[in-house]
Amino acid sequence: MSDSVTDLIPHRPPFLFVDEIVSETADSLVARRTFRADEDFYRGHYPSQPITPGVLLCEAVFQTGALLMARRAKAAGAGEQGGVPLLARVSDVRFRNPVFPGETIEITTKIKEIVGGFTMMAGSIKSGDKRVLSVDFAVAWKTPGGAT
């Protein structure tokens, strides 16, 4: 796994929520992210009791899914040059535990099905032994300016 996260997906700080790829199989990918106490969103969510916004935890899962798609395309020799991953559907989001500044999460995405240009996935996050969230989602890889 010599590719870095930024070699594979177009996301960049401050909107990059995956630090590294930990492992992968043909249809799944595990990544990691540590939330630093100095990240700007903690100043407002919530100032006296900072907690990682659920929408950013979901985004970490979606970015991990984009990494999985990019790695599969690269392995197939297809590449996704010029395209960006676009979220097409989100369903069955379940938040189980909060994530606080300083925590390191493990993000897992698995491909459930690929149909008509859409990749359906299941994602989850754990922090140590603690389950954080699970979500089902669909992603399409599109070229900017192309037909929708």
Residues 6+ apart with CB under 8 A from 32: 18, 19, 20, 22, 104, 105, 106, 107
Tokens 């999460």 sit on residue: 105
Tens-digit pLDDT profile for residues 45-71: 999 999 999 999 999 999 999 999 999
> What CA–CA distance (Å, rounded) separates 107 from 125?
5
The domain limits of the chain are 5-142
> Quick one: average pLDDT of 9-31?
96
Q: For the residues 107-121, what does the mean pLDDT come to?
A: 96
Q: Can you read off the two tokens belonging to residue 147? A: 């037909």
pLDDT attached to residue 105: 98
- For the chain, the straight-line distance linking the first and the last C-alpha, in angstroms and rounded, comes to 33
pLDDT (average), residues 13-42: 97
Q: How far is the C-alpha of 105 from the C-alpha of 3, rounded, in Å?
A: 20
> Of these residues, 10, 16, 41, 45, which one is catalytic?
45
Amino acid at 141: W
Task: Assess whether pLDDT exceeds 90 at residue 2.
Answer: no
| pLDDT(100) > 90 | yes
Average model confidence (pLDDT) for the chain?
92
The verdict on whether 45 is a catalytic residue reads yes
Q: Are 72 and 119 in contact (CB under 8 A)?
A: no
Give the mean model confidence (pLDDT) for residues 71-80. Answer: 76
| pLDDT digits 0-9 by tens, 117-137 | 899 999 999 999 999 999 999
Walk across the sheet containing 28-34 and list its strands. 20-24, 28-34, 104-115, 118-127, 130-142, 84-95
Query: Side chain identity at 25, as an amino acid letter?
Result: T
Q: Residue 139: is its pLDDT beyond 70? A: yes
Q: Say if strands 20-24 and 104-115 run parallel, antiparallel, or are unpaired.
A: unpaired
Tell me the CATH number for domain 5-142: 3.10.129.10
pTM: predicted TM-score of the whole model, two decimal places: 0.92
